[in-house]
Structure 1
């Protein structure tokens, strides 16, 4: 398994252009002597309000090698959020404390709360050895009981989760987690799961370390006979609502809204992310389990302050005026780069370079499972989708919106990746409106109204809305405005439907959307997020979410997909159970072949490299980082070792 990860890493490293050398993690292999601690914690320990440092740390804590130098304690790091649903902005900065983690290059899975592990020959069984002596932020020991509880009592609870997360389900069955001793847990899958370590390193792999048993068990009927009274006292609709409010989940705001919830993160919530909040404040975790090379407890920085802006303009003003210490989220659009470059001296910051792991800047998903049978029929016609694709003037979009910094692209692994697939990436990217018009005529859409818009078989004009989130991806609004003009020339009328993020997800979850856009993943990590290659992601494969529900529920929910989709689902299950990288690549090629043939997802251009800003007095920050949800930047660069200089 390790050989497989490393062999893949060589290729990724070549693509990423060499970001090695940052903040390595290791375990102390000798008797550990505690070094320094933050002055405020030292004072609390002196007053007897905290145990001494040596009692708060594991005997062999995880050692972090700082990126540039051993840091100094102090300071408040300022970062921006957007509105009330930007919880993943906190996760990316703070919530990366899983059993394992990515290295800086996004090439190898490293130890984290699990100091080591063993994998059996067919990758169906993983035995994790936890760091002994780690404590939750309230001082309670973190042990194998917490890991077993998180999976067996929480994640596999069918009242909390309609189906177990895909990361822990193989061959239609969820993982079984057993405690071998206080610091050893065994994960057993029904079949091979060769990608499990990599999935554990992503945000969606955080469940095993997310729920402290001594705290969260109070909100489960199995452990609390008085829970009904507690639910009533809290004014909750039921125990599941109370559990979510108190213990959260990986990707919901309530993860950051309960100041009492114990965590394993470097900082803990002081001012919560709740309705009406104008900021979220987090303070140092006195029990954080990592140290630097001199034995000093991390994190160096005292406090995180996430200011909540209602628009990107406010966030940009804060950056330019020097009120933000590190930011890439929400300001990372090419239109902002000239302004940010021109104001570097005024804002006292330098630029951060981001290497995209995505394939596509703008994937366009027509809802092929639409509730309107007429639109469903039209969207399901492959020739219709092909005609729309060649009816897009991609070069105009690239020149105007992306400053000529990209190229026409559909989807698939990025150029230079060993699994690059020419047909999947390049087909139907040429601009040919005459051919597009002819194709639409040939499939029976040759009748038009007085405005030149083609008519459906029921006499209604072909019209649909494309959902986009302007606060999150303003460039995609501009892309769609140009697409709208291009498609008007071939007789197709669309509305650019700018909506808030929560409504965007609600419409997708309810299968109530006509079409939606999102940046397309899978450029460097095609197996970690294959949503554009088949209906894999229950929220992300927006061209057929009911098909994904069928897949993730093993046929119990959703809508049965066509044979090509079912074949790809079966092939992917085979690929992720294959440890041999060459064999896995051959299987994935079959998936790419089928995806290219069916052409469900339409792309605009290859994902463009991004950027951010770092204040000049903030050090130990790598100035080149991967940009990915699977590598949730900047978290894997270890913000706990970021430090301020005077």
Structure 2
């Protein structure tokens, strides 16, 4: 289909939707009071995306969740009218009366039952069963449908993950539009009709067909009913994706006007490299993805002609980029060095983080050690300052202590076996920011007698090398959520993940596979972190969880398991000057802020639509 025909089809679809539905929030809508100004409905908002999969941002930015975070990261009912908790074991959820899917069909507990019985526990659709965060000691909850608006999940022991998981940026939904999806399910559909649908869609079987139709979080099917503020009007392939307002959305402003204010969200598909240029030309109304701090000066210079203003939001990562020494490296001599805390501390103390901030971020970033940031309620000076400081004398002293006092004629330290201490620092190929940091680190570590070679590699190849223990040291993003609360999982601070924790991938794999693969942690500090993490998982109260967090964080930070660089790197946010309610100051992060999602895009409005 040509782009011109595609746009005509989209326009006709929008008109048809507008003429056949009536705006109707639930009988008890959620009133949004947290907005700077009361808006006026109407208009369309343009954004740029760089791949078709970015239609999922309609789910991320829409941010309709059963339970949500407010801007202080406190949990509250969102899609739900209310919920009750007993001992963190029993969760009773109350739906809003009269709440409807975007196609006008009732949203009830049948949608929860259908997801639980016919999706999560269907071996064809979910061979591994329900998500792991719904299991406590390997056991699923008891699910009771009390009435059309009330459902209860019960466990024998506390499940501290439940609410935070369903509130997260990329939360897996635990409900599904049963009225729509049953036609594709073996249990409900007429066999002959289902066979025809499988054949006509060229699906392998009914399970494959069902997966193509169940697109709640992928958000790439205009046929899939949704609870989000906007619903997709056209699917892939396309060079432009249009989403129109959900006429049954459950939120209103304090005057009773149904949200969202904006009638249409329009995503234009462009090459990633063109996002800064097109933003500078004013071809978007709200843009952050595809922009980085190096684009800031250009964007500011373009403001006089493009009608945009450029905000700066600090990101919420624990460290924008961090260095990950591989404690599971296969080279035994390098592994022994990396497992010596004094070696890791020496590497950290030799970094001039103020110079990194000046060189890469105009001095606007702050030194960080890849733990919680000072805006987190769990922060303490002991945690935030651990392994920080620029002290070459101390770094050299530590390296001498651990048997690295000898140097060759080039000033490079010699390992006990006589080899020069020559380390390959691997980065993700194509990421110039990582490469630039790698060059700075190379020069700084050369001052303490360590030779560094920066080597870019394809991301997947690099990950495989880390997992195998062949990559000794890597640069990648720091811990994603630098602003956790006691209710959020401390899993980032214990060996629980192979993919996300490149400092101990084999230990993480051991946990993820219940000991079937990887290696059992054998460093005392790592074992203690796992014990504390297990205590947090089994805790009964927020007070207990906060106390456990305050044991985990100092232990982790003082071990220098990862080497942070700088945090609060500023993210440019290009905003149409007539777009209201976009915060001037906010935190830019994926989890749990969902980038724009936490700031209620349904309340954004155009002063001159």
TM-score bin, normalised by smaller chain: 0.7 to 0.9
Q: Distance in 2 between matches of 1:223 and 1:466?
A: 52
Structure 1 position 630, deviation (Å): 0.5
In the alignment, does 2:171 pair up with 1:205? yes
Per-residue CA distance 1:243-267 (angstroms, 9 max, x = gap): 44432474xxxx1332322221122
In the alignment, does 2:118 pair up with 1:150? no
The verdict on how the C-alpha distance between 1:145 and 1:133 changes in structure 2, with shifts beyond 3 A counting, is same
Structure 1 position 411, deviation (Å): 2.9
Aligned length: 589
CA RMSD in angstroms, aligned pairs only: 3.8
Equivalent residue, structure 1, for 2:476? 517
Q: Distance in 2 between matches of 1:271 and 1:241?
A: 22
In the alignment, does 2:9 pair up with 1:62? no
Equivalent residue, structure 1, for 2:323? 364
Structure 1 position 603, deviation (Å): 0.6
Which stretch shows the higher mean deviation, 411-420 or 109-118?
411-420
Equivalent residue, structure 2, for 1:428? 387
Equivalent residue, structure 1, for 2:7? none
The verdict on how the C-alpha distance between 1:241 and 1:494 changes in structure 2, with shifts beyond 3 A counting, is farther
Say which of 245, 252, 266 aligns to 1:284: 245
Contact 2:326 2:466 in 1 (8 A): no
Equivalent residue, structure 2, for 1:340? 299
Per-residue CA distance 1:37-67 (angstroms, 9 max, x = gap): xx999985896xx25445xx43333333472
Q: Distance in 2 between matches of 1:239 and 1:376?
A: 49
Equivalent residue, structure 2, for 1:111? 77
Unaligned residue ranges in structure 1 (runs of 5+): 1-38
Say which of 553, 562, 569 aligns to 2:530: 569
The verdict on how the C-alpha distance between 1:401 and 1:187 changes in structure 2, with shifts beyond 3 A counting, is same
TM-score, length-normalised on structure 2? Answer: 0.83
Which stretch shows the higher mean deviation, 535-544 or 321-330?
535-544
Q: Distance in 2 between matches of 1:324 and 1:585?
A: 43
In the alignment, does 2:369 pair up with 1:410? yes
In the alignment, does 2:445 pair up with 1:487? yes
Structure 1 position 149, deviation (Å): 3.1
Unaligned residue ranges in structure 2 (runs of 5+): 1-10
SS of the residue corresponding to residue 613 of structure 1 reads strand
The verdict on how the C-alpha distance between 1:495 and 1:217 changes in structure 2, with shifts beyond 3 A counting, is farther
Equivalent residue, structure 2, for 1:329? 289
Structure 1 position 294, deviation (Å): 4.3
Q: Distance in 1 between matches of 2:436 and 2:467?
A: 25
Contact 1:541 1:548 in 2 (8 A): yes
The verdict on how the C-alpha distance between 1:396 and 1:294 changes in structure 2, with shifts beyond 3 A counting, is closer
Structure 1 position 304, deviation (Å): 1.4
TM-score, length-normalised on structure 1? Answer: 0.79
Structure 1 position 462, deviation (Å): 3.8
Structure 1 position 109, deviation (Å): 1.9
Structure 1 position 223, deviation (Å): 5.1
The verdict on how the C-alpha distance between 1:426 and 1:597 changes in structure 2, with shifts beyond 3 A counting, is closer
Q: Distance in 2 between matches of 1:46 and 1:608?
A: 42
In the alignment, does 2:364 pair up with 1:396? no
Equivalent residue, structure 2, for 1:100? 67
Equivalent residue, structure 2, for 1:266? 229
The verdict on how the C-alpha distance between 1:484 and 1:438 changes in structure 2, with shifts beyond 3 A counting, is same
In the alignment, does 2:217 pair up with 1:257? no
Per-residue CA distance 1:215-265 (angstroms, 9 max, x = gap): 445555555667788656544566665544432474xxxx13323222211
Which stretch shows the higher mean deviation, 301-310 or 127-136?
301-310
Contact 2:58 2:230 in 1 (8 A): no
Equivalent residue, structure 2, for 1:630? 592
In the alignment, does 2:295 pair up with 1:299? no
Contact 1:530 1:536 in 2 (8 A): no
Say which of 585, 604, 607 aligns to 1:642: 604
Alignment of 1:496-535 (within 5 A): 496-497=455-456, 499=458, 514=472, 515-525=474-484, 527=486, 528=488, 530-535=490-495
Per-residue CA distance 1:309-358 (angstroms, 9 max, x = gap): 3234x21222222211112233242x333333333332212343525433
Per-residue CA distance 1:87-110 (angstroms, 9 max, x = gap): 66444323x11112122x233222
Q: Distance in 2 between matches of 1:91 and 1:427?
A: 38
Per-residue CA distance 1:407-463 (angstroms, 9 max, x = gap): 432133323645324344323333344654564465456787887486696969744
In the alignment, does 2:95 pair up with 1:130? yes
Per-residue CA distance 1:91-138 (angstroms, 9 max, x = gap): 4323x11112122x2332222211011111x11111000112222223
The verdict on how the C-alpha distance between 1:395 and 1:310 changes in structure 2, with shifts beyond 3 A counting, is same
Q: Distance in 1 between matches of 2:187 and 2:490?
A: 37
Q: Distance in 1 between matches of 2:538 and 2:231?
A: 37
